[in-house]
Amino acid sequence: MAPPHEQGFDEDEKKTGKALGVKRKFDEFECPACSANNPWGESFGNNDEVLCNWCGISYKAVVDDEGELRLKEL
């Protein structure tokens, strides 16, 4: 058996949050236009489309390599 540092990640060591980079998922967002908080039923991530439930503007979610979310108006 390989030493621990040569083995793959254990379940507890999986990447989370910002460490996921572009694969990071979100369950809410703040609308850039009206500042309303929008909880999202299912998680969304890079290139997904989201809709502000308050002002009705649609956005494309863009997640960068550092796991930061940006919303581009469609």
Is 48 domain-assigned? yes
Q: Is 14 a domain residue? A: no
Domain assignment of residue 20, yes or no: no
Let me know if residue 5 belongs to a domain: no
Q: Is 4 helix (H, G, I), strand (E, B) or coil?
A: helix
Does any domain span residue 74?
Answer: yes
Residue range of the domain that includes 70: 25-74
What is the mean pLDDT of each successive set of 10 residues along the chain, which is 74 residues long? Answer: 50 66 96 97 96 98 96 98
Number of domains in the chain: 1
Strands, E assignment, the chain: 26-30, 37-44, 49-51, 58-63, 69-73
| Residue 13, domain member (yes or no) | no
- Residue 66 forms beta bridges with which residues? none
Full-model pTM:
0.74
CATH classification of the domain holding 29: 2.20.28.160
